[in-house]
């Protein structure tokens, strides 16, 4: 065996690092058993019929109206909450990075974002019911001011209500993800642009946005995937009435509502495809943005 390994060699097991391989083995066994195998099991099941034979039928049946509508609704909720989450999150991040605000605001907002982006699930639904439910604080407050939200067609247990609730963790997530990118924008670029006679609008259109858009788009995709996989908040808020894909899958796991386990696997495959692609695009875009913002 040659003493000097070629630099392109794959990691290989030698006597000197045998201990190291033993050290990382539990991690790989864990990953295989509790992350990879369960997922692969579903993926394979999505391409099998009842007798275990190969079929594309399950995937084709995802197109039936009830399932297709679930996907559309899920995509709509995720898209809307990602769009507004990205927009408002970007505004807030810009405000703390470039707004010339008092210095204590930034760490406060960042810490709060860390908390709020993790404050999801069932309690978040409770908080919004207490705020904008029929007897909620804001609803009652506005009622006393002569503005009846519910008469105006608002309801917390609907699409709008769910989207508004999701923003509570989407905006903070956007702030956390996009602030480092904004920090990477060098002040000199702005100065150089204005010295060359560019207006602020031109600077943003021709310098800042071309550098920032991969970060912004990437973060938006992360938000999209984040909302798409979420279930607890929606389940606690709307129950089974708003039939987004995770809730449909939940019902399928609970009681085989589709009367077909393999169709359930296909449903899971569809979800995984959407979150997987969004995350993949996020990673690609982040790598692209790091070219400039390092």
Partner 1 sequence: MKRSSPGAWLAIILGVTYFLAPLIATFEFSLRLKRGEYSFEAYRLVFESGNFQSSFLYSTTVALATIVIGVALAVPTAYWVQLRLPRLRGLVEFITLLPLVIPAIVLVFGYIRLYDSSSVLPLTGSAFGTNILLTLGYVGLAMPYMYRSVDTGLRAIDVRTLTEAAESQGANWPTILLKVILPNIRSAILSGAFLTFAIVIGEFTFASLLNRPAFGPYLQLIGASRAYEPAALAVMAFAITWACMGLIQLIGRGAPGAQDTR
- Binding to partner 1 (CB under 8 A) within 86-115 occurs at 88, 91-92, 94-96, 98-102, 105, 109, 111-112, 114-115
As a whole number of angstroms, the distance between CA 224 and CA 218 comes to 10
Confirm or reject binding of residue 123 to partner 1 (CB under 8 A).
yes
What residues between 212 and 241 interact with partner 1 by CB under 8 A?
Answer: 225, 228-229, 231-232, 235-236, 239
- Is the Cβ–Cβ distance between 108 and 279 less than 8 Å? no
Stretch that binds partner 1, among 49-57, 154-162, 206-214, 260-268 (CB under 8 A): 260-268
Confirm or reject binding of residue 72 to partner 1 (CB under 8 A).
no
Taking CB under 8 A as the criterion, the residue among 71, 166, 168, 203 binding partner 1 is: 168
Closest CA to 183 of 112, 107, 93: 93
Taking CB under 8 A as the criterion, the residue among 1, 3, 24, 195 binding partner 1 is: 24
Taking CB under 8 A as the criterion, the residue among 1, 2, 15, 19 binding partner 1 is: 19
Confirm or reject binding of residue 263 to partner 1 (CB under 8 A).
no
Confirm or reject binding of residue 249 to partner 1 (CB under 8 A).
yes
Taking CB under 8 A as the criterion, the residue among 128, 166, 203, 224 binding partner 1 is: 128
Q: How far is the CB of 167 from partner 1 (least distance, A)?
A: 8
Helices 65-98 + 261-293 axis angle, to 10: 20
Confirm or reject binding of residue 21 to partner 1 (CB under 8 A).
yes
Confirm or reject binding of residue 117 to partner 1 (CB under 8 A).
yes
Buried b (16+ CB within 10 A) or exposed e, 207-221: bbeebbebbbbbbbb
Confirm or reject binding of residue 284 to partner 1 (CB under 8 A).
no
Confirm or reject binding of residue 146 to partner 1 (CB under 8 A).
no
Q: How far is the CB of 64 from partner 1 (least distance, A)?
A: 20
């Amino acid at each position: 065996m040659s003493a000097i390994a070629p630099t392109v060699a794959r990691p290989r097991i030698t006597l000197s690092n045998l201990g190291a391989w033993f050290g990382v083995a539990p991690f790989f066994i864990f990953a295989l058993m509790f992350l990879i195998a369960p997922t692969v099991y579903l993926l394979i099941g999505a391409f099998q019929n009842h007798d275990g034979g190969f079929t594309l039928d399950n995937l084709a049946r995802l197109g039936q109206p009830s399932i297709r509508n679930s996907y559309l609704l899920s995509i709509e909720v995720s898209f809307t909450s990602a769009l507004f989450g990205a927009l408002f999150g970007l505004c807030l991040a810009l405000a703390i990075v470039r707004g010339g605000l008092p210095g204590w605001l930034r760490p406060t907002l960042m810490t709060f974002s860390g908390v709020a982006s993790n404050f999801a699930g069932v309690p978040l639904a409770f908080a919004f019911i207490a705020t904008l439910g029929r007897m909620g604080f804001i609803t009652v407050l506005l009622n006393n001011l002569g503005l009846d939200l519910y008469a105006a067609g608002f309801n917390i247990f609907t699409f709008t209500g769910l989207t508004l609730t999701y923003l509570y963790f989407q905006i903070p997530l956007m702030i956390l993800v996009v602030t480092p990118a904004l920090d990477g924008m060098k002040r000199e670029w702005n100065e150089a642009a204005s010295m060359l006679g560019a207006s602020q609008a031109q600077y943003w259109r021709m310098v800042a946005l071309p550098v920032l858009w991969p970060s912004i788009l990437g973060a938006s995709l992360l938000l999209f995937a984040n909302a798409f996989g979420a279930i607890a908040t929606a389940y606690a808020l709307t129950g089974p009435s708003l039939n987004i894909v995770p809730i449909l899958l939940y019902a399928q796991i609970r009681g085989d509502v589709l009367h077909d386990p393999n169709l359930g696997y296909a449903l899971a495959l569809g979800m995984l495809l959407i979150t997987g692609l969004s995350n993949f695009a996020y990673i690609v875009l982040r790598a692209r943005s790091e070219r400039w913002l390092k």
